[in-house]
Amino acid sequence: MKIQNYTKQMIDEKSFIDMAYTLLNDNDETMNLYDIIDEFRAFGDYEYEEIDNRFVQFYTDLN
């Protein structure tokens, strides 16, 4: 399933690692970390403050 078809609930429940994998496969191109986060923010209709905690966990999971 393409990330553009995810519902808000699906985005809330999926880890950003899984979503990043899907996004990068869908786009078939490289993206920097901040562009990925901006895409997630737009898809989930998050405010910047709302996404901060998930971003920290995502960055930690990448390591």
- The ranges assigned to domains in the chain are 3-62
- The Cα 42–Cα 7 span in angstroms is 12
pTM for this one? 0.80
Q: Tens of pLDDT along the chain (63 residues)? A: 788 888 889 888 999 999 999 999 999 899 999 999 999 888 888 888 888 888 888 989 988
- The Cα 50–Cα 41 span in angstroms is 9
* pLDDT on residue 30: 93
Is residue 58 within 8 Å of 18, Cβ to Cβ?
A: no
* pLDDT on residue 18: 93
**Sign (positive/negative) of CA torsion 37, 38, 41, 42?**
negative
* pLDDT on residue 35: 94
Q: What are phi and psi of 52, to 5 degrees?
A: -55, -50
Homologous superfamily in CATH for domain 3-62: RNA polymerase, subunit delta, N-terminal domain (1.10.10.1250)
